């Protein structure tokens, strides 16, 4: 076993942002949402993530603005803490330790210093939840124990949409199953209203969400059958009334009143935002085709922005119900990833299927969805129980010029609809353009698909294997020689192969594209793609082969196959014999495209182990037991942007590319090395504030420079001049991140800024450059003279003075002399040229 002390499995991006309803800040400029273990702060104008509020150790289950201070926000988490943040600066203010997992959090303006949380009723019976009020003590410490509970409602659901406060906290409404409960704080009395389980028309009356009118005594509830009920007179047991509105055909996902209470917004699986007029329920406005089912609706406190979060991990910001102004899209990983994980060679983005009928391109470096490629190109009908086209397979060529996708739709017991589409990369739009659609390429489901990887070959070839017992080779046919206008080349079938009527399971091209291996149950057949001859067959009974891959680079003579009865075999293609085999329940076999390494994920006893090995070496390079629980079926080697210089043996396999994998719970994980983490730490340390100085950005900026100069003092003048560029860029970063009102005057900063950009020049350079340099420093001189009267921190421009020292030999008179010489010189030159 190889030691793996310095390689860790870490979460990397792609967490849900639609888990809980987002929060819009009072000035509508920020949007906060729970995302995995942190709270993300987005700018509503630019869609960019401004801060990650990190600190929770469990899933964040709720975010609420603090009613008494609109720049602070509470967040609760399953780790049993409530944290108070300053979200504009991203600073953790306080941590309240509750001690039990918290499922949602509520605040109300009437209850100062009290938060309401939903916790499990007792530790053993996790099905029952209760709403409790927690008194938050005022004290100076960072971490506060909050143990003063008082139960408010004994029986609620954990869904945050099922509880709402009315009239600023006079009463609280909670729904569960077919029951609406209203609790009045003043009277300390609750009223319960019941609905029958099924109404006459077979609709389901189950409550899904509740919302209270901000100004009026009115409660709106959404139901499973798409009805919205408005309840009034609920402060008595008998004479309550309700009116019903019905537009949604599916369950009402979310309800929200606008701040003045004039409109009610509702949304559901239809992905249409409906705006109802309060008291004029027949009038409604629609905003259709928002992309996916609406799960939460939030309105900004001034009512200008609506914000809907959708089931495809997306938050849409809508300006006054007419225009979508911004879309914040996270990694879409709904019910499962049907395609393999891939890396687009052009954008280096990870590619997998996302929204229904789309491929998503997700940038791993920036943790951001780049774009969705519409594969199916059909109007998506938002209806439950409808069979839709799904992208099930996709493959890139090694150059990224072609993308092949397979979409399928299995109608109830009817025959399968299959489409194979080939997309060409368009340089101008930097996107993929549909080239060929092949409907029904096979008679049954396609099991595997791969492109020929040969770099130098003229033709591109795609091989698809199917359950119908055939594999087909598709080739790009050149445009017909006739003078047809606009007819470009398209793909057509080149060869159909089969082997004894067996079902092919996987296929793989060798690195140079000269061999094609197709596994037919227990038998691996090796074909020559140039002549379509069956070269040889390899078999290692028993056990059908599930995964197949060729070795790369120095190991290209090896062919590896994993069988379903937990055997990993390696054949040598030169001798056509089995080189070695080992018992391993491989669930995924993956080749690193940049090295000889092969990663095998093995599923054993409920968890997955990872082995990284070279086919020609007996010892694995790296192995880790229990990488995650459950079976790993999707993983990818993503090439690094810059190679890591790691000398540790166990982490060398991560030098060229990084291994990402998806756990069964759709978490994107990766392996990070110590060196990488050190680097990350180093970059974050730059921003760590020294305790001795007061923590203002102003002192941060200037203190930094003082440190630099201290370092530079003992050094020679030359080295001091050469070094400023990298440090300068850090200074620029600080400059741009610091709010303008705390910065020193611009005229002062200008010289510093320009200085940091300059590439220093020594005396031995060309004369004319010196002249320019001198002019620059002249300007700075004058700047200094102007500023000398003002109070300037000493040492602020020591760097400038170094430059002066370097340039001192040339006085102004000398410069004039040089200029004159230059002019003379040119005239003389031109004279010569003329003659």
Residue 526 Cβ, how far from other proteins at the closest point, in Å?
10
For residue 126, what is the DSSP state?
T
Residue 357 Cβ, how far from other proteins at the closest point, in Å?
10
Q: Which positions from 201 to 240 touch other proteins by CB under 8 A, shown as an x/- string?
A: ----------------------------------------
Binding segment toward other proteins, per CB under 8 A, in 23-31, 480-488, 692-700, 776-784? 480-488
Among 124, 236, 482, 791, binds other proteins (CB under 8 A): 482
Q: Helix 798-807 vs helix 767-787: angle between axes, to the nearest 10 degrees?
A: 140
- CB nearer other proteins, residue 290 or residue 394: 290
Tell me if residue 602 falls in helix, strand or coil: strand
DSSP output for 445-481: -EEEEEE---SS-SS-EEEEEETTS-EEEEEEEPPPS
Burial class (CB in 10 A: 0-12, 13-18, 19+), 113: exposed
Q: Which positions from 403 to 442 touch other proteins by CB under 8 A, shown as an x/- string?
A: ------x-x--xx--------------------x-xxxxx
246 binding other proteins? (CB under 8 A): no
Among 128, 143, 534, 680, binds other proteins (CB under 8 A): 534
608 contacts 631 by C-beta, under 8 angstroms: yes
Residue 476 Cβ, how far from other proteins at the closest point, in Å?
13
**C-alpha to C-alpha distances, 628 to 3, 9, 371, 608, 702, nearest whole angstrom:** 18, 9, 29, 6, 47
Residues of the chain by 3-state class (helix, strand, coil), percent to 5: 15, 45, 40
- CB nearer other proteins, residue 186 or residue 412: 412
Q: Which positions from 268 to 307 touch other proteins by CB under 8 A, shown as an x/- string?
A: -------------------xxxxx----------------
Q: Which positions from 25 to 44 touch other proteins by CB under 8 A, shown as an x/- string?
A: --------------------
Interacting positions 72-111 with other proteins (CB under 8 A): none
CB count within 10 Å of CB 666 equals 17
Residue 290 Cβ, how far from other proteins at the closest point, in Å?
6
Smallest CA-to-CA distance from 97 within 65, 154, 58 is with 58
Please name the residue that has the structure tokens 């300007």. Answer: 779
Q: How far is Cα 827 from Cα 819, in angstroms, rounded to an integer?
A: 13
Q: Which positions from 538 to 557 touch other proteins by CB under 8 A, shown as an x/- string?
A: xxxx----------------
492 contacts 477 by C-beta, under 8 angstroms: yes
Residue 449 Cβ, how far from other proteins at the closest point, in Å?
15
602 contacts 612 by C-beta, under 8 angstroms: no
- CB nearer other proteins, residue 530 or residue 537: 537
Residue 24 Cβ, how far from other proteins at the closest point, in Å?
19
Q: How far is Cα 364 from Cα 13, in angstroms, rounded to an integer?
A: 8
- CB nearer other proteins, residue 157 or residue 436: 436
- CB nearer other proteins, residue 499 or residue 601: 499
- CB nearer other proteins, residue 434 or residue 771: 434
- CB nearer other proteins, residue 535 or residue 754: 535
- CB nearer other proteins, residue 531 or residue 716: 531
Q: How far is Cα 572 from Cα 559, in angstroms, rounded to an integer?
A: 7
Binding segment toward other proteins, per CB under 8 A, in 206-214, 530-538, 708-716, 730-738? 530-538
Please name the residue that has the structure tokens 């944290």. Answer: 83
Among 45, 93, 479, 480, binds other proteins (CB under 8 A): 480
Among 269, 523, 612, 621, binds other proteins (CB under 8 A): 523
Smallest CA-to-CA distance from 170 within 225, 235, 80 is with 235
Binding segment toward other proteins, per CB under 8 A, in 217-225, 494-502, 654-662, 784-792? 494-502
Residue 371 Cβ, how far from other proteins at the closest point, in Å?
13
Tell me if residue 140 falls in helix, strand or coil: coil
Q: How many CA atoms lie within 13 A of 678 on its CB side?
A: 8
Residue 316 Cβ, how far from other proteins at the closest point, in Å?
8
Q: How far is Cα 397 from Cα 785, in angstroms, rounded to an integer?
A: 63
Residue 608 Cβ, how far from other proteins at the closest point, in Å?
30
Interacting positions 332-391 with other proteins (CB under 8 A): 377-381, 383, 386-387, 389
Residue 227 Cβ, how far from other proteins at the closest point, in Å?
20
Residue 575 Cβ, how far from other proteins at the closest point, in Å?
8
479 binding other proteins? (CB under 8 A): no
- CB nearer other proteins, residue 88 or residue 581: 581
559 binding other proteins? (CB under 8 A): no
Angle at 831 between CA 828 and CA 835, to 5 degrees: 145
246 contacts 292 by C-beta, under 8 angstroms: no
Residue 225's region, left for phi above 0, alpha for psi from -120 to 50, else beta, is: alpha
- CB nearer other proteins, residue 381 or residue 813: 381
Burial class (CB in 10 A: 0-12, 13-18, 19+), 740: exposed
Q: Which positions from 302 to 331 touch other proteins by CB under 8 A, shown as an x/- string?
A: ----------------------x-------
Residue 482 Cβ, how far from other proteins at the closest point, in Å?
5
Per-position b or e across 349-368, b if 16+ CB within 10 A of its CB: bbbbbbbbbbbbbbbbeebb
Binding segment toward other proteins, per CB under 8 A, in 536-544, 552-560, 765-773, 827-835? 536-544
Q: Helix 746-757 vs helix 724-737: angle between axes, to the nearest 10 degrees?
A: 140
Residue 436 Cβ, how far from other proteins at the closest point, in Å?
8
Residue 108 Cβ, how far from other proteins at the closest point, in Å?
34
- CB nearer other proteins, residue 102 or residue 373: 373
Among 233, 537, 696, 719, binds other proteins (CB under 8 A): 537
- CB nearer other proteins, residue 477 or residue 810: 477
Asked, as a colleague might, if the bond just before 793 is cis with ω within 30 of 0, I would say no
484 binding other proteins? (CB under 8 A): yes
Q: How far is Cα 254 from Cα 252, in angstroms, rounded to an integer?
A: 6
Tell me if residue 811 falls in helix, strand or coil: coil
Angle at 372 between CA 371 and CA 374, to 5 degrees: 145
Structure tokens at 207: 């409550």
- CB nearer other proteins, residue 178 or residue 572: 572
Residue 485 Cβ, how far from other proteins at the closest point, in Å?
10
102 contacts 119 by C-beta, under 8 angstroms: yes
Binding segment toward other proteins, per CB under 8 A, in 42-50, 216-224, 573-581, 605-613? 573-581
Please name the residue that has the structure tokens 């329920």. Answer: 281
Among 306, 499, 601, 802, binds other proteins (CB under 8 A): 499
SS3 string, 721-762, reads HHCHHHHHHHHHHHHHHCCHHHCCCHHHHHHHHHHHHCCCCC
DSSP output for 253-265: EEEEE-TTSSEEE
581 binding other proteins? (CB under 8 A): no
> Binders of other proteins: how many residues, by CB under 8 A?
53
Note the residues at the interface with other proteins (CB under 8 A): 287-291, 324, 377-381, 383, 386-387, 389, 409, 411, 414-415, 436, 438-442, 470, 480, 482-484, 492-493, 495-500, 523, 525, 532, 534-541, 575-578
């Amino acid at each position: 076993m190889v030691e793996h002390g310095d390689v860790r499995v870490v979460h990397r991006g792609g967490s849900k942002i639609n888990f809980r309803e987002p929060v819009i800040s009072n000035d509508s400029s920020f949007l906060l949402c729970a995302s995995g273990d942190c709270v993300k702060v987005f700018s509503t104008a630019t869609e960019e993530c401004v801060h990650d509020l990190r600190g929770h150790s469990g899933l964040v289950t709720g975010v609420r603005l603090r009613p008494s201070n609109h720049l602070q926000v509470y967040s609760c988490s399953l780790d049993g803490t409530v944290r108070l943040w300053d979200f504009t600066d991203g600073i953790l203010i306080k941590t309240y330790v509750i001690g039990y997992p918290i499922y949602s959090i509520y605040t109300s303006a009437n209850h100062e210093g009290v938060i309401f949380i939903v916790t499990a009723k007792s530790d053993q019976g996790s099905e029952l939840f209760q709403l409790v009020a927690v008194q938050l003590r005022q004290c100076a410490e960072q971490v506060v124990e909050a143990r003063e509970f008082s139960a408010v409602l004994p029986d609620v659901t954990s869904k945050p949409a099922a509880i709402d406060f009315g009239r600023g906290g006079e009463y609280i409404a909670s729904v569960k199953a077919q029951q609406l409960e209203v609790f009045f704080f003043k009277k300390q009395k609750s009223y319960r209203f019941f609905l029958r389980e099924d109404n006459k028309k077979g609709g389901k009356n189950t409550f899904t969400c509740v919302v209270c009118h901000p100004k009026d005594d009115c409660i709106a509830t959404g139901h499973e059958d798409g009805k919205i009920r408005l309840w009034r007179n609920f402060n008595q047991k008998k004479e309550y009334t309700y009116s019903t509105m019905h537009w949604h055909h599916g369950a009402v996902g979310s309800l929200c009143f606008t701040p003045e209470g004039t409109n009610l917004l509702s949304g559901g699986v239809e992905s249409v935002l409906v705006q109802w007029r309060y008291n004029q329920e027949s009038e409604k406005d629609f905003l259709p085709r928002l992309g996916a089912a609406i799960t939460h609706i939030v309105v900004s406190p001034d009512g200008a922005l609506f914000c809907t979060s959708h089931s495809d991990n997306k938050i849409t910001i809508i300006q006054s119900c007419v225009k979508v102004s911004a879309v914040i899209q996270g990694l879409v990983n709904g019910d499962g990833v049907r395609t393999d994980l891939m890396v687009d060679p052009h954008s280096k983005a990870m590619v997998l299927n996302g929204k229904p009928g789309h491929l998503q391109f997700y940038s791993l470096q920036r943790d951001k969805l780049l774009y969705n490629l519409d594969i199916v190109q059909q109007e998506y009908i938002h209806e439950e129980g409808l069979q839709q086209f799904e992208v099930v397979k996709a493959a890139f060529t090694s150059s990224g010029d072609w993308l092949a996708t397979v979409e399928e739709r299995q109608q109830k017991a009817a025959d399968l609809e299959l489409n194979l589409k080939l997309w060409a990369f368009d340089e101008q739009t930097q996107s993929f353009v549909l080239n060929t659609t092949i409907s029904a390429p096979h008679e049954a489901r396609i099991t595997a698909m791969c492109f020929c990887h040969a770099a130098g070959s003229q033709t591109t070839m795609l091989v698809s294997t199917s359950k119908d017992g055939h594999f087909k080779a598709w080739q790009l046919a050149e445009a017909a020689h006739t003078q047809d206008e606009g007819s470009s080349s398209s793909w057509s079938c080149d060869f159909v192969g089969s082997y004894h009527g067996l079902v092919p399971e996987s296929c793989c091209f060798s690195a140079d594209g000269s061999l094609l291996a197709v596994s037919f149950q227990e038998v691996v057949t090796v074909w020559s793609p140039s002549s379509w001859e069956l070269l040889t067959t390899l078999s290692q009974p028993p056990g059908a082969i599930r995964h197949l891959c060729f070795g790369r680079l120095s190991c290209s003579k090896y062919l590896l196959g994993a069988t379903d009865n937990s055997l990993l075999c390696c054949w040598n293609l030169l001798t056509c014999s089995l080189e070695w085999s080992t018992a391993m329940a491989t669930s995924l076999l993956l080749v690193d495209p940049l090295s000889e390494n092969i990663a095998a994920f093995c599923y054993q006893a409920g968890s997955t182990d990872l082995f990284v090995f070279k086919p020609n070496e007996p010892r694995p390079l790296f192995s880790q037991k229990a990488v995650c629980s459950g079976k790993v079926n999707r993983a990818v080697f993503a090439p690094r942007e810059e190679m890591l210089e790691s000398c540790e043996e166990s982490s060398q396999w991560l030098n060229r590319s990084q291994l990402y994998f998806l756990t069964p719970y759709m978490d994107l994980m990766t392996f990070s090395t110590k060196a990488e983490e050190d680097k990350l730490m180093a970059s974050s340390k730059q921003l760590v504030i020294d305790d001795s100085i007061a923590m203002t950005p102003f002192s941060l900026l200037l203190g930094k420079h003082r440190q630099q100069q201290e370092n530079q003092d003992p050094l020679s003048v030359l080295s001091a001049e050469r070094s400023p560029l990298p440090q300068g860029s850090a200074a620029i970063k600080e400059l741009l991140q610091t709010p303008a009102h705390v910065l020193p005057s611009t005229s002062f900063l200008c010289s510093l800024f320009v200085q940091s950009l300059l590439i220093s020049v020594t005396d031995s350079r060309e004369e004319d450059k010196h002249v320019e340099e001198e002019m620059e420093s002249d300007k700075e001189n004058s700047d200094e003279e102007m500023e000398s009267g003002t109070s300037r921190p000493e040492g602020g421009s020591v760097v400038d003075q170094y430059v002066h020292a370097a340039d001192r030999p040339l006085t102004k008179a000398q410069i004039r002399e040089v200029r004159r010489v230059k002019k003379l010189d040119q005239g003389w030159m031109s004279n010569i040229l003329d003659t």
